[in-house]
Amino acid sequence: MIWTSSYHGGVGRTLDLSVPRLMAILNVTPDSFSDGGVLNVGTAEGVAQVVLAARRAVEQGASVLDIGGESTRPGAERVGADEQLARVIPAILGVRAALPGVVITIDTTLAAVAAGAFDAGADAVNDVSAGTESRGMLALCAARGRGITLMHRRAVPGADSYSTRYGLTGEREAPTYGDCVHEVGEFLARRALAAMDAGVPHGAIVIDPGLGFGKTVEQNLELIERTGELAELGYPVLSGISRKSFVGAWAAGGQAAGLGVEPLGPGHTPAQRDDASALLAARHVAAGARLVRIHNVAAHSAILTVRG
């Protein structure tokens, strides 16, 4: 069996990933690249908005709700554990009370934030550092019986660049790989083994190639097309395509025009990339991805065959 059948969360919640699933993004951050400041938990009304957004996402087809309190966009400033907890805990408590059966993940690299989120009802952690930033993260997930998503990245957000800006004046040089897919796969295999060595079950691990994190437009597209090679590692693959700059470049080049998506002009907004994001996500699922992390659930449900 190639695919791990279930993504194990806490309190008995599991998710069958032998079929594609949608993971809805619920950012409670003021500075995320696409939707910063849309959801604010500073008031009871703000928490109610988060719960409403969560209900809508589930109704539209999401199986997982990914709640984050720190932006990981290129150039983002770091947010400490206390501030992250102040942002995410009210959101998780509200969503868990309203939707007791849905899988909730906490998007953080800090074990202290993950621990607080688990106490509030989160089932797993979505760690863009693959458990390298907080030494206790893997042991925490093992001890608490929570799942983890391990992502590949080349640098922390503050030292990274958007995929479309590498090499421009004032921006960083394009990252180089001998074979991008091979090197990403080797890293993820090592981190998955580290997680299992810490006591995390094989079935509780999802891997993420980190599209948009330290990759050029061309490298991101190659990772999508060759996802089957990553799937051969034996873990479900997460697809993190939604609204990213390389999607805009792909659509702007007219490559999606024959598929019904008009080329995007200069100055387009991240939200205008939803149709192109859904098309690339469908391509990623066809190549082997099983968990699709997205902003616009309705746009993806319309083109992807998933189970809620």
HEC string of the chain equals: CCCCCEEECCCCCEEECCCCEEEEEEECCCCCCCCCCCCCCCCHHHHHHHHHHHHHHHHCCEEEEEEECCCCCCCCCCCCHHHHHHHHHHHHHHHHHHCCCCEEEEECCCHHHHHHHHHHCCCEEEECCCCCCCCCHHHHHHHHCCEEEEECCCCCHHHCCCCCCCCCCCCCCCCCCCCHHHHHHHHHHHHHHHHHHCCCCHHHEEEECCCCCCCCHHHHHHHHHCHHHHHCCCCCEEECCCCCHHHHHHHHCCCCHHHCCCCCCCCCCHHHHHHHHHHHHHHHHHHCCCEEEECCHHHHHCCCCCCC
Q: Token match 């990914």: residue?
A: 66
Fold observed for domain 6-301: TIM Barrel (3.20.20)
pLDDT at 1 over 60: no
Average pLDDT over residues 79-95: 92
Whole-number pLDDT of residue 5: 44
pLDDT at 2: 27
> For the residues 126-148, what does the mean pLDDT come to?
95
What pLDDT, on a 0 to 100 scale, did the predictor assign at position 161?
65
Q: How confident is the model at residue 256 (pLDDT cuts 50, 70, 90)?
A: low
Instruction: Tell whether the model's pLDDT for residue 95 goes beyond 70.
Output: yes
Q: Write down the pLDDT at residue 6.
A: 60
pLDDT value of position 66: 96
- Per domain, the residue ranges of the chain are 6-301
Rounded mean pLDDT of 188-194?
98
Pick the range with the lowest mean pLDDT from 34-43, 252-261, 274-283.
34-43
pLDDT surpasses 90 at 173: no
What's the whole-number average pLDDT of the chain? 85
Q: What are phi and psi of 221, to 5 degrees?
A: -65, -35
Mean pLDDT of the region 280-297: 94
143 or 176, which is more confident: 143
Question: In Å, how far from its chain's centre is CA 227?
Answer: 16
| pLDDT-wise least confident of 32-41, 109-118, 125-134, 165-174 | 32-41
Examine the pLDDT at 307 and tell me if it is beyond 50: no
Q: Please count the other Cβ atoms lying within 10 Å of the Cβ belonging to residue 137.
A: 28
- Residue 214 is predicted with a pLDDT of 86
Taking the C-alpha atoms of residue 223 and residue 13, their distance in angstroms, rounded to an integer, is 30
Average pLDDT over residues 5-12: 62
What is residue 24's predicted lDDT score, i.e. its pLDDT? 96
pLDDT of residue 128: 95
pLDDT tier for residue 75 given thresholds of 50, 70 and 90 = low
- Which pLDDT score, from 0 to 100, does residue 45 have? 74
Q: Binning pLDDT at 50, 70 and 90, where does residue 32 land?
A: very low
User: pLDDT confidence of 11, banded at 50, 70, 90?
Assistant: low
